[in-house]
Amino acid sequence: MSDKFVRAIFPGSFDPITNGHLDVIHRGLKLFDELIVAVGRSPLKDQLFSPEERVEMIAELVKGLHGVSVEGFDGLTVEYARQKKANVILRGLRSLTDVNYEFELAMTNRSVTGIETIFVMTTEQYGFISSTLVRQVASLGGDISNLVPENVYRRLRERFKKQ
């Protein structure tokens, strides 16, 4: 048994966080001593919720989970990981499409900074969920209540009611 402390970051845009993301967080807690959910700003994506709103929603969901914190960040994930002295980047995989993209990203991150990426497969019931899909269905008035946590569902309904 190792006494090494392992801090991981779970980066993403989480716009919005889904039940699939929560599954990865809960499973990551079993693997690492500390898990930082790192909410990134992506200049390449149209964002429904501000980074501050996303941090707030996720913080509500992980409140009381020992070893989990939520923070927003700008810039490169690997630079943020280095700043936080994280040993590992945690990523969830849903499909073969994810594998190709995530593999390239993990190899680049390791070659640039030496940080390892650990992948967990999502639970079968969440394998098809993406934030993009959730936003699209919600924008058209579809019922996504089984895809996202209750606090996120409420905020999505409010947001699309205004539009």
Beta strands in 4-67 (DSSP E): 7-12, 34-40
Task: Give CA separation, 34 vs 98, 131, 142, 155, in Å.
Answer: 25, 25, 36, 28
Annotated active-site residue 84? The verdict is: no
Yes or no: say if 74 and 41 are a contact pair by the CB < 8 Å rule.
yes
Output DSSP code: residue 77.
H
Lookup: tokens for 25: 């967080």
Q: In angstroms, rounded to a whole number, what is the distance separating the alpha carbons of residues 155 and 163? A: 13
- Which amino acid, one-letter code, is at 142? G
**Which of 26, 82, 94, 157 does the annotation list as catalytic?**
94
- Which residue in 21, 54, 135, 155 is the catalytic one? 21
Is 110 a catalytic site residue? no
Q: Tell me if residue 131 is catalytic.
A: yes
Q: Which one is catalytic: 13, 131, 135, 155?
A: 131
Calculate the CA 38 to chain-centre distance. Answer: 7
Annotated catalytic residue: which of 45, 50, 139, 154?
45
Active site (annotated) includes residue 26? no
Instruction: Please tell me what DSSP assigns to residue 153.
Output: H
List the catalytic residues.
21, 45, 94, 131
